[in-house]
Structure 1
């Protein structure tokens, strides 16, 4: 799945990357966000925070060479190659609210941000947020969001439905942040509210 948006005229690459690399901001763009916290690096892979080769093995990272060089790796506490978080979502559905706990992995790269969301029932979302020049040659910037879904065939429809319900929601919030930095008018828009998830459904956290 892919989603693309054009950024406001005058947006700099530095502004857009700063928003993507602000993990608290990106995580809180999830419309069902309740709380999140940082998780320590995996103990069975000492050095994963500051050694790229170890980090790639420890987290089974895909080939991200199209997104430029990895950023970070200076410390385990504040600036590891792979930032790990625990996320708690509250998902409404027609019968009751479901508390969903997911594990997030965020990787800062020269051209954007790569995320992986591990949710219950084997649902895995891998998302590449890539900053590119607009194809029309206008000099504007575009933000490409490429999502890869991994889950059982039974859950594909539910997961895709959740993503489609909030399609473009994070893009709107990123745009609003940049417009505010540029002195633009208007309040920050609220993320599109997803349709209710059927009972027993699994969250497709929008970041990730």
Structure 2
């Protein structure tokens, strides 16, 4: 897409997490692929796919690569009994071989009726790239018509206190969930894409908060 026809927009949403929530609990919630995907109110189906099937192949920004959080050894992609092995591309290890990236990829189908006629079909198929990071989750979504969204989900001390280490409750201030979205798409589509994000974020955050509240009972 020619640069003069495309544009970039950003959004940021913050929600306080329930009192008593630990950093470990919040990170575990973000790392639960099946739950995370279920938070999408338009999602009708999803399936894990090998990163090697994506064009362009998945990559990680340097700011993400240096803060990757290892997945638990018993974790596997949602909808699959085991994670795909040897499919990811990455950096070089000490022997010069490709070092796998800590990414998991999915094909997700959304049913969206609010899109103006002629822009997209109501059935929108996108690819998701998930990477766990030290303070949360990095997600890249590629949708039809060259729409790309990159989102950082971060758990931090309430009030913008930065990254929270360990598994404490965050003290008196508690914790908050921060969603930072960067979208790149046609200038003709940016208003639609941004509007969809603004219309749904409260529901998505509420479901995540509800999951954490259940865990505290």
Q: TM-score range by the shorter chain?
A: 0.7 to 0.9
Q: How far is the alpha carbon of 1:78 from its aligned partner?
A: 1.9
TM-score by length of structure 1 reads 0.73
Quote the residue 2:113 is aligned against. 92
**8 Å CA contact retained: 1:88, 1:99:** yes
**8 Å CA contact retained: 1:67, 1:112:** no
Deviations 1:103-162 (A, max 9, x none): 000001121000011000001010000111112873300111000000010101000111
Say if 2:103 is the partner of 1:82: yes
Quote the residue 1:121 is aligned against. 145
1:160 match: secondary structure: helix
Quote the residue 1:176 is aligned against. 210
Deviations 1:30-89 (A, max 9, x none): 111100000013169xxxxxxxxxxxx952321335983332397995276110000011
TM-score by length of structure 2 reads 0.70
Q: Partners of 2:53 and 2:187 in 1: how far apart?
A: 33
* Stretches of structure 1 lacking an aligned partner (at least 5 in a row): 45-56, 184-208
Higher RCO, 1 or 2 (CA under 8 Å, sep at least 6)? Answer: 2
Change (3 A) 1:65 1:32: closer
* Stretches of structure 2 lacking an aligned partner (at least 5 in a row): 1-10, 85-100, 162-170
1:167 match: secondary structure: helix
Quote the residue 1:47 is aligned against. none
Q: Partners of 1:86 and 1:155 in 2: how far apart?
A: 22
Partner residue of 1:154 out of 159, 180, 188:
188
2:52 match: secondary structure: coil
Quote the residue 1:165 is aligned against. 199
Quote the residue 2:131 is aligned against. 107
Quote the residue 2:59 is aligned against. 60
Quote the residue 2:175 is aligned against. 141
CA RMSD after TM alignment: 2.8
Quote the residue 1:132 is aligned against. 156
Q: Partners of 1:99 and 1:65 in 2: how far apart?
A: 31
Partner residue of 1:3 out of 6, 13, 23:
13
Q: How far is the alpha carbon of 1:95 from its aligned partner?
A: 6.2
Q: Partners of 1:120 and 1:66 in 2: how far apart?
A: 26
Q: Partners of 1:20 and 1:10 in 2: how far apart?
A: 17
